[in-house]
Amino acid sequence: MHRISDEQRRIRIGRRHLLAPSVRSESPVAVADAVVALHATDAATVFLSACARLRAPGVAAVEACLYEDVSLVRLLSMRNTLFVVSAEAAPHVEASNARAVAAKERRNLLKHLAEDGNGLDEQWLAGTEKAALTVLTARGSATGSELSAAVPALRTKITLFPGKKQEAVQGVASRVIRVLAAEGRIRRDRPRGSWTSSQFRWTASEPRPVEEPGRAQAELALRWLRAYGPASESDLKWWTGWGLGQVRKALAAAGAEEVLLDSGATAWVAPQDVAPDPEPEPWAALLPALDPSAMGWADRGFHLPAEHRAALFDRSGNIGPTVWWNGQIIGGWAQRATGEPVWRLLTDAGRDASAAVEAEASRLAGWVGEARITPRFRTPLERELTA
């Protein structure tokens, strides 16, 4: 069985995730394809992850892909999490994950409507959705509050979990909008504020044709292996949220090949992807919270020293902003209220690493400009650096 060392895995991150300067991209779409999907729970992460991998980083290029030609698509998909993927990858992600998530969202909403006991049923929901889509089609785009003002049914309030400890009263607008977006009938348009804002306008869209789920899962597994392999079944199970049976079927259908890691464990790579990648020039990167390079594996031991975890993760297991050197996480960073990027190295990687990190911080500050970034999931080191 072919062996792939931890060092080779770190080299692959630099090259395949477009982080080494010589392999950075001109296109945000190419960046998304290189890492399969960009985390989008925090709106700023999409821009920070993309621009870290662009030769000429800038907000406008990413916005054009998201809102003008829509070559980047937001989908509620893997692990019921919001991601940005390329328009080419979107049908595979939708069929393998997003459709199931959308169906669950609709079931949950109908359940809450029924439990409220005021006669709100599937027919009521269909009428409300139709009215919302009519308004969006006529207006072109609208915020959630504008939609609620135009569609009286969206101002309806329901009681969630009646009679239980967690009982709460909530408006239906956000839940109806979430279902429509999950089903691809509406999509996020430009936010009300800057690129760091998550208060989006909404616009009508057409759902994509449905692909066969098994074929889509095989295609998604293949794309993931090309970016993150060698990796284990557990890694793919965690990243996708699939069951173990689905993971094994997808790996088999993708033609994945088994390899041996330094730890002695077995892992999987894309077909015929066992040759070493050429080592790029030394590289540093300041990657945002939930960046795909930090979120691609369940087991991050080959690039993340165990002693760094307490400083870099929040209590729910979300990773914060990280500093990288040649494929290994060596510290964390933050942005102060003044706009200044600050960082702390948790590993002494030498003067070359320190100089490269400083250059990346300057590059980041240059394109971020006046924007201020606070991660949604704050970690101990990020909080300490901004205190």
User: pLDDT by residue for the chain (387 residues), tens digit each?
Assistant: 899 999 999 999 999 999 999 999 999 999 999 999 999 999 999 999 999 999 999 999 999 999 999 999 999 999 999 999 999 999 999 999 999 999 999 999 999 999 887 888 999 999 999 999 999 999 999 999 999 999 999 999 988 888 788 878 888 999 999 999 999 999 999 999 899 999 999 999 988 888 999 999 999 999 999 999 999 999 999 999 999 999 999 999 999 999 999 999 999 999 999 999 999 999 999 999 999 999 999 999 999 999 999 999 999 989 999 999 999 999 999 999 999 999 999 999 999 999 999 999 999 999 999 999 999 999 999 999 998
Give yes or no for a contact between 323 and 364, defined as CB atoms under 8 angstroms apart: no
Candidates 205, 172, 210; CA nearest to 186 is 205
pLDDT of residue 206: 87
pLDDT of residue 132: 96
Distances (CA, A) of 355 to 153, 345, 360: 58, 12, 9
Structure tokens at 161: 């979990």
Distances (CA, A) of 122 to 113, 125, 127: 9, 5, 9
Residue 88 has what DSSP assignment? T
Residues 6+ apart with CB under 8 A from 375: 42, 44, 45, 288, 289, 290, 320, 321, 382
Q: Is 17 left (phi over 0), alpha (psi -120 to 50) or beta?
A: alpha
Candidates 276, 285, 254; CA nearest to 92 is 254
Distances (CA, A) of 218 to 127, 144, 231, 252, 266: 37, 36, 15, 8, 20
Angle of CA points 143, 146, 150, to nearest 5°: 140
Single-letter amino acid, residue 376: R
pTM for this model (two decimals) = 0.95
pLDDT of residue 164: 81
Give yes or no for a contact between 334 and 340, defined as CB atoms under 8 angstroms apart: no
Single-letter amino acid, residue 136: L
pLDDT of residue 117: 77
Q: How far apart are CA 237 and CA 22, in angstroms?
A: 32
Single-letter amino acid, residue 325: W
For residue 28, count CB atoms less than 10 angstroms from its CB and return exposed for 0-12, middle for 13-18, buried for 19 or more.
Answer: buried
Angle of CA points 91, 94, 99, to nearest 5°: 140
DSSP assignments along 121-176, one per residue: -HHHHHHHHHHHHHHHHHHS-EEHHHHHHH-GGGG-EEEESTTSTT-EEEESHHHH
- Cα 329 to chain centroid distance, Å, stands at 19
For the chain, the residue count is 387
Give yes or no for a contact between 288 and 38, defined as CB atoms under 8 angstroms apart: no
Angle of CA points 119, 121, 124, to nearest 5°: 95
Q: How far apart are CA 19 and CA 358, in angstroms?
A: 16
pLDDT of residue 22: 97
